[in-house]
């Protein structure tokens, strides 16, 4: 359930017509609904009732600080995977003590930033990373609280590009190596082993793989405790799927997911860390775009819009489905016809939907791509030298731009001609005076 509904024939985000936002901010623009964010967070938190659970929002799904703040105000912590995400979470007001730092390639600088901030836990994904972290902790004179991410080798039954818990994936250490790696970590004076972490994939629409993975974690907790480790936290990752509107079967509810947690790891006496991303923000966002042309092709009709794969990559990258509706409500008896909704980028993959039934639309009309709050704006780029997409947050009757559109002037301003090509006004060569390229002049 979300708060993007028609009212008086116009699609609204809460009490604001998206048409009004587009008129002020322009298109394409991401629009987020505070009420939907709040609803998803409170539903998820209520499902975990009775469990010692800390909800660390996976900010990679939507790193806008206003979105993070909305969730932090409700008590959410954060799961971050880069120094940049750590800064965003801290800037948004998430207390460091509620931040988990995950990721396969943390650099020493990122580790130092996390340790200095005082994050709750760093999830270590390999032995080389463990060694580097121990060195960084020693240099800062702190003990690094860690969990080791275990790859439980279960099939998450999701898109190949977002499955993470198979032995062939790059994430975590094989669960069969846990005994030995924990023994090493446990012997390191600069490392404080606090828990175990796992994350098996994203957009899971089936609870069984969660059950399988959590059972494996349960066994590991018992084994590692028997080895003498004081395992206090169990990070179960994120991954619960959401409805995009094209599913054949219903998506499991947070309550059903919580039941799996209760029945597998609920009684271990561990503080549970949950890292939902998509579930909290996916349905809380939409991408608003304007029709540029309607083009009658030889065999198909193309609705060409001003958003493109650089603004919303999911359809191109994962063949993902996003429901697309007009901002103006069509009469119930309106005839629809099958159209392809495409962006202006010079790639056939720049397609948002094929054979979609739409009521008649014309140049200038607005279309809304729903369920784009997760992995939408965060994966946007400026490919084809297109401005970076703007973002707006709505709350009741109010809306605010929470991320500016980055105009082409700014994109051009960061590019420079080297000296040997002749500097243009405003461009500064970054070549050092006596640098290795000096001879090229
Ligand atoms: N925790 C870890 C360690 C993760 O790697 C992820 C997502 C999450 C939590 C949050 O998962 P969620 O609850 O959002 O499923 N760009 C892709 C999704 C990539 C997910 C990566 N990791 C997409 O657009 O579908």
pLDDT(299) > 60? yes
| Any ligand 1 atom below 6 A from CB of 399 | no
Residue 211: the pLDDT is 97
Query: How confident is the model at residue 424, as a pLDDT?
Result: 60
Query: Count of CB atoms within 10 A of residue 158's CB?
Result: 21
| pLDDT tops 80 at residue 6 | yes
C-alpha 201 to ligand 1 mean position (Å): 7
The confidence score (pLDDT) of residue 441 equals 39
346 is annotated as an active-site residue? yes
Contact 36, 12 (CB under 8 A): no
User: Does residue 375 line the site of ligand 1, with CB under 6 A?
Assistant: yes
Task: Identify the bridge partners of residue 337 per DSSP, sorted by sequence position.
Answer: 358
- Chain segment 158-200, per-residue pLDDT in tens: 777 767 777 777 788 998 899 999 999 999 999 999 999 999 9
Q: Which atom of ligand 1 is nearest to the CA of 197?
A: 3
Question: Taking a C-beta distance cutoff of 8 angstroms, is the pair 330, 359 a contact?
Answer: yes
CA dist., res. 261 & res. 271, Å (int): 12
Which residue stretches of 227-363 are H helix? 254-265, 278-281, 314-318
Q: Which is the closest atom of ligand 1 to the Cα of 81? A: 3
Mean pLDDT of 114-124: 98
**What are the residue ranges of helices labelled H in 48-165?**
65-73, 83-91, 108-117, 127-140
What domains are defined for the chain? 4-14+17-28+283-403 (2.40.37.10), 103-274 (3.20.20.10), 407-441 (no CATH)
Whether the per-residue pLDDT at 43 is higher than 70: the answer is: yes
Predicted TM-score (pTM) of the model is 0.94
The values of phi and psi at residue 30, to 5°, are -85, 135
- Exactly one of 346, 362, 385, 425 is catalytic; name it: 346
The pLDDT value given to residue 430? 52
Verify whether ligand 1 is closer than 6 Å to residue 172 (CB atom). no
* C-beta 315 within 6 A of ligand 1: no
pLDDT digits (tens, 9 = 90+) for 73-104: 999 999 999 999 999 999 999 999 999 999 99
Sequence-distant (6+) residues with CB within 8 A of 219 are none
Which residue owns the Cα nearest ligand 1 atom 7?
Answer: 202
CA of 351 to the centre of ligand 1 (A): 23
Query: Is the CB–ligand 1 distance for residue 317 below 6 Å?
Result: no
- Does residue 78 have its Cβ closer than 6 Å to ligand 1? no
Q: Which comes out higher in pLDDT, residue 426 or 298?
A: 298
Q: Is the CB of 102 under 6 A from ligand 1?
A: yes
Q: With bands split at pLDDT 50, 70 and 90, how would you rate the model's confidence at 155?
A: confident
Average pLDDT score over the chain: 94
Mean pLDDT, rounded, for 213-242: 97
Distance 342 CA to ligand 1 centre (A): 26
Looking from the CA of residue 241, the nearest atom of ligand 1 is 15
For residue 246, give both structure tokens: 């094209």
CA atoms of 338 and 92, how far apart (whole Å): 43
Using alpha carbons, list the distances in angstroms from residue 273 to 58, 337, 427: 11, 47, 48
| Cα-based distances in Å from 8 to 21, 164, 266, 325 | 16, 45, 47, 16
d(CA 11, CA 18): 6
């Amino acid at each position: 359930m979300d708060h993007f509904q028609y009212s008086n024939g116009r699609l609204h985000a809460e009490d604001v017509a998206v048409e009004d936002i587009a008129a002020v901010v322009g298109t394409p623009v991401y629009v987020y609904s505070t009420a939907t964010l709040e609803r998803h967070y409170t539903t998820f938190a209520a499902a975990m009732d009775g469990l010692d659970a800390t909800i660390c929002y996976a900010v990679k799904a939507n790193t806008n600080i206003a979105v993070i703040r909305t969730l932090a105000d409700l008590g959410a912590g954060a799961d971050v995977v880069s120094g940049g995400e750590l800064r965003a979470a801290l800037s948004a007001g998430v207390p460091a003590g509620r931040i988990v730092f995950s990721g396969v390639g943390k650099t020493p600088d990122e580790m130092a930033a996390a340790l200095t901030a005082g994050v709750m836990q760093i999830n270590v994904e390999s032995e080389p990373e463990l060694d580097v972290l121990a060195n960084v902790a020693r240099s800062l004179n702190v003990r690094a609280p860690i969990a080791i991410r275990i790859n439980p080798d279960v099939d998450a039954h999701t898109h190949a590009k977002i499955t993470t818990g198979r032995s062939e994936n790059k994430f975590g250490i094989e669960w069969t190596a846990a005994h030995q790696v924990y023994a090493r970590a446990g012997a390191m004076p600069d490392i404080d082993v606090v828990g175990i972490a796992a994350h098996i994939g994203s957009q899971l629409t089936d609870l069984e793989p969660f059950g399988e993975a959590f059972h494996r974690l349960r066994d590991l907790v018992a084994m590692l405790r028997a080895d003498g480790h004081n395992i206090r936290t169990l990070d179960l990752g994120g991954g619960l799927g959401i409805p995009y509107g094209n599913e054949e079967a219903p998506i499991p509810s947070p309550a059903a997911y919580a039941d799996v947690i209760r029945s597998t790891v609920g009684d271990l006496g561990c503080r549970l860390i949950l890292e939902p991303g998509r579930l909290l923000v996916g349905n809380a966002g939409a991408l608003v775009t304007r029709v540029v042309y309607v083009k009658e092709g030889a065999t198909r009709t193309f609705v060409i819009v001003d958003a493109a794969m650089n603004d919303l990559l999911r359809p191109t990258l994962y063949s993902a489905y996003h429901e697309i509706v007009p901002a103006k409500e069509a009469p119930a008896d309106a005839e629809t016809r099958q159209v392809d909704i495409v962006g202006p980028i010079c790639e056939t993959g720049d397609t948002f939907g094929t054979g979609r039934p739409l009521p008649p639309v014309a140049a200038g009309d607005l279309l809304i791509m729903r369920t784009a709050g997760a992995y939408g704006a965060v994966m946007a780029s400026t490919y084809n030298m297109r401005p970076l997409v703007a973002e707006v947050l709505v709350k009741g009757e109010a809306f605010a731009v929470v991320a500016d559109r980055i105009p082409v002037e700014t994109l051009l301003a960061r590019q420079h001609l080297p000296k040997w090509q002749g500097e243009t006004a405003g461009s500064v060569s970054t070549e050092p005076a006596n640098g290795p390229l000096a001879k090229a002049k």
